[in-house]
Chains A and B, each alone.
Chain A
Amino acid sequence: MKKIFVLLSMIVIFIFYPLKIFAEQQFTEEKMEQMTPLPGLRSAVSNLPDISVIGDFYYRLTNDKNDAENGILIIRSIETAFQGYIYPDIRGDVFLELHKHGETIEPEICEAKVNFQKLFHNLSLEVGKVRVNFGKVNRIHQHHRNFYDQPQVISSFFGRHGLVAEGANFSYLLPLPIFFQVDLGIWNIPKGHQHHHGEGQEEFSLVDKTYTNKIWLSLPIKNSELEVGINYLFSHGPHYSEHKDEVQICGLDLTHRSFFTRNRSALFTAEIFKLIRHLEEKTIERFGYFVFANFRFDKYHTVGARYDNVENVEDGIRGYSASLVFSKNLTETTCLRAQYTYTFENPKDTHQFVLQLIFGIGPHSHLLE
């Protein structure tokens, strides 16, 4: 009864938001004497970086009896971002996150990076802890994604937080008429931040030295654009010290965006990955993908559907799920979302319904994702 009451309350807020309770703003007229400052240069007078906070809450209802988050409002993460220039052409971005880690909320450096925007010619360098530019969705922070959860293939192949690593990434933008960028990353993924699915069931993740490569190109086609990413990664598995397990992942990502009048647009994204894990005694291959289609039917509302299909890295059991997503975007960083997910599982399929609230305070920006 209590759960239904909470759910109904959230639906009512979802439908009737925003309430008008604030006083009218006062305005004046002024001559523009200088150029509009860039994001990151806003607080130039006081020499402060842009500071913003992004919160991500959700409430989940499911028929899975083992789900500890069923019927509880979860504060998934609170991200604080500090962004600004540290030198001409050198930009610093620090994203600190408080996020749910089992029963507790723990602090974590989500990203902390320095971007040397122009080393020479069209070469740039990013150094620090970053969400690696591998595939399309991995680089995008959760609060910017079009769905509340991470696609299964990313969680399964790279861990619950996706591919986040410490190191350096070189990007070279080829001087061609189309967008054609080559990324080469040299990383280290420290062991120690791992999640466990249950007793004795450790989550697969990559560790130690990791090398990534992405070829990213984009073709404009009339009022639409097709992006293609070809990705390759070489790393070590979680038991490298004992079993010398080496991991290779290759992937292809496709994104097609179409733009129509009246703020309407359509997005199609697909990512497909193949993981090859060399153990001392055998080689295992795993395969996974997801496809997502999204339609923005006006300035505020989008509706989308996603299908996930992935083999578990450890046991090879294939998992499938299908999701329907409805989002109401209040601002660029504030969104209310409802998502229904049907997961095909043995012995019983699960139904999951999630209401999510993402909110942003302050100037928050990301480089091209």
Chain B
Amino acid sequence: MRKWTLVVLLFSVCCYSKQLYIITTTEDLRSIAKFIGREKVKVESLSYGWQDPHMVQPLPSMVAKLAKADMIVKVGLDLDVWVDSLILSSKNKNIIYGAVGYIDASVGILRLEVPTGKVDASMGDIHVYGNPHYWLDPENGKIIAKNIFSGLCRISPSDGGFFEKNYDEFVVQLTEKIEEWRKKFKKYEGKNFISYHKTFSYFAKRFNINIVATIEPKPGIPPSASYIKKLIDVVNEEKPVCILHENFYPLRVSKMVATQTGKKIVILPTSVGGVPEVKDYFSLFEYIITKIVQACNGNN
């Protein structure tokens, strides 16, 4: 009996392959990386889905995680610059800029709102490489997945077939879902909306809606009284369906505009984990679209 136990133990040890440890800067990237890596990876996000991704505080505990990581997946486009100093502090050569374990998920994305000409703070908190909220276009989810898949194949080539199968499955599922979401949202194509920040630009382009104004006058700049007055005029003129409010921004001004114009506010997460119901990349869009549709139908 003892011999058999020993044989089983040895066999288990031989079969055991170490999980790859992947760190992502956001929950959305974590969700996609987990889909592709499945049981062969352990994925952790450095930020929570309910946090403003522009405002994540670098913490020493993140350094400890990065020090052990086989791969880092970043949003890029300057959204998560806070992670760069942490990568340096982690002294992990596998994940430094240019290493095989350094994945910038934005490579290959068609960037929107790329500023032309000189960029400075007079334009607000503009990202010089363009609007970084690209994961809110589900088609971009495929590019993100491709970047993660390529990275996983580089750090663990022997599992390439496994990752490829999962990547293909992700693309198929997402393609089906996008079609479904399009149908669900078709009624609102060409309609006007306003949002707090320029978070929904990619989402709007994909689902063919117009973000006609933002509560912020310029990215990252809080609205002044005179701007709110102008905004109310814009709302009355453009007649947006509702106000899309990212759930980490202050609600006061959105409420004020809604009260004065009779528009509804739809409070939305912008990332996986932004609300408890949104557990993965698919349910993020499911939630956003359902909430907007419900609000527009008067059910919210």
Which of B51, B64, B248 is in CB contact (< 8 Å) with A176?
Answer: B64
Asked if B12 is an interface residue, CB under 8 A from chain A, the answer is: no
- Quick check: is A280 within 8 A (CB to CB) of the other chain? no
CB-defined contacts of A122 to chain B, threshold 8 Å: 67, 91
* A259 beta carbon closer than 8 Å to chain B: yes
- Chain A proximity of B107: nearest CB distance (Å): 6
Closest residue on chain A to residue B98 by CB atoms: A35
A299-B250 in contact given A29-B110, A91-B88, A366-B85 (Cβ < 8 Å)? yes
Question: Known: A118-B91, A179-B60. Contact between A263 and B249, CB under 8 A?
Answer: yes
The answer, yes or no, to whether A191 is at the interface (CB within 8 Å) is: no
Complex: A362 Cα to B89 Cα, angstroms: 23
Q: List the B side residues contacting A32 at CB < 8 Å.
A: 76-77, 106-111, 129-130
**Residue contact B123 to A219, C-beta cutoff 8 Å:** no
Question: Is residue A36 within 8 Å, beta carbon to beta carbon, of the partner chain?
Answer: yes
Q: Are A26 and B96 in contact (CB under 8 A)?
A: no
Q: Is the Cβ of B247 less than 8 Å from the Cβ of A29?
A: no
A34 to B247: give the CA distance in the assembly, Å. 31
Q: Are B93 and A118 in contact (CB under 8 A)?
A: yes
Tell me which residues from 210 to 268 in chain B have a Cβ below 8 Å from any Cβ of chain A. 217-218, 220-222, 224, 226-227, 247-251
Contact stretch, chosen from A14-22, A154-162, A239-247, A318-326: A14-22
Please give me the residue from chain B that is nearest to A17 by CB atom. B224
Is residue A334 within 8 Å, beta carbon to beta carbon, of the partner chain?
A: yes
A79 to B112, CA, bound (A): 34
Q: How many residues of B contact A (CB 8 A)?
A: 65
> When the two chains form the complex, which single residue of B78, B126, B217 contacts A20, counting CB atoms closer than 8 Å?
B217
Q: Which of B167-216 contact A (CB under 8 A)?
A: none
Residue of B whose beta carbon sits closest to that of A36? B76
Alpha-carbon distance between A235 and B190 when the two chains are bound, in angstroms: 71
A294 smallest CB distance to B (angstroms): 12
Q: Is the CB of A38 within 8 A of B90?
A: no
Inter-subunit contact A39/B84 (CB<8 Å): yes
Within 8 A of B (CB), among A17-63: 18-20, 22, 25-36, 38-39, 41
C-alpha gap A117/B96 in the complex (Å): 11
Main secondary structure of the interface of B (DSSP, over half): loop
Closest to A33 in B: B107
Q: In the complex, what residues of A have CB within 8 A of residue B58's CB?
A: 368
* A173 in contact (CB, < 8 A): yes
Interface segment out of the listed A94-102, A192-200, A220-228, A339-347: A220-228
B93-135 vs A, CB cutoff 8 Å, 1 = contact: the mask equals 1001100001010111111111111011111011001100000
Q: State in angstroms the CA–CA spacing of A23 and B61 once bound together.
A: 42
Q: Once the chains are docked, how many angstroms separate the CA of A179 from the CA of B63?
A: 7
Give Cα distance in the complex from A115 to B77, angstroms: 26
B52 beta carbon closer than 8 Å to chain A: yes
- CB proximity of A225 to chain B, nearest CB, Å: 5
Alpha-carbon distance between A35 and B99 when the two chains are bound, in angstroms: 12
Q: CA separation between A131 and B122, bound complex, in Å?
A: 32
> For B102, what are the chain A residues with a Cβ–Cβ distance below 8 Å?
35
Residues from chain A with Cβ under 8 Å of B64 in the complex: 173, 176-180, 218
Interface size class of A (residues with CB under 8 A): 35 or more
Cross-chain contact of B85 among A18, A124, A217, A365 (Cβ < 8 A): A365
Q: Are B91 and A117 in contact (CB under 8 A)?
A: yes
Residue pair B226, A219 in contact (C-beta under 8 Å): no
Chain A nearest CB, measured from B2 CB (Å): 34
Asked whether any CB of chain B lies closer than 8 Å to the CB of A361, the reply is yes
Whole-angstrom distance between the Cβ of B95 and the nearest chain A Cβ:
12
Counting CB contacts under 8 A, is A149 at the interface?
A: no
Q: Is B57 an interface residue (CB 8 A)?
A: yes
- B-contacting residues, A114-152, CB 8 Å: 115, 117-118, 122-124
Give B19 Cβ to nearest chain A Cβ, in Å: 15
A260-287 residues at the B interface, CB under 8 angstroms: 261-263, 265
- Given A29-B110, A220-B61, A262-B249, 10 other A-B residues pairs in contact with their CB atoms under 8 A: A19-B224, A26-B115, A26-B117, A36-B129, A38-B84, A216-B60, A218-B61, A257-B59, A262-B250, A263-B248
* Selected A-B contacts with CB under 8 Å, 19 pairs: A20-B226, A25-B119, A25-B123, A26-B117, A29-B130, A31-B110, A32-B110, A35-B104, A36-B78, A124-B91, A173-B63, A178-B61, A216-B60, A262-B247, A262-B251, A263-B249, A299-B52, A299-B250, A365-B84
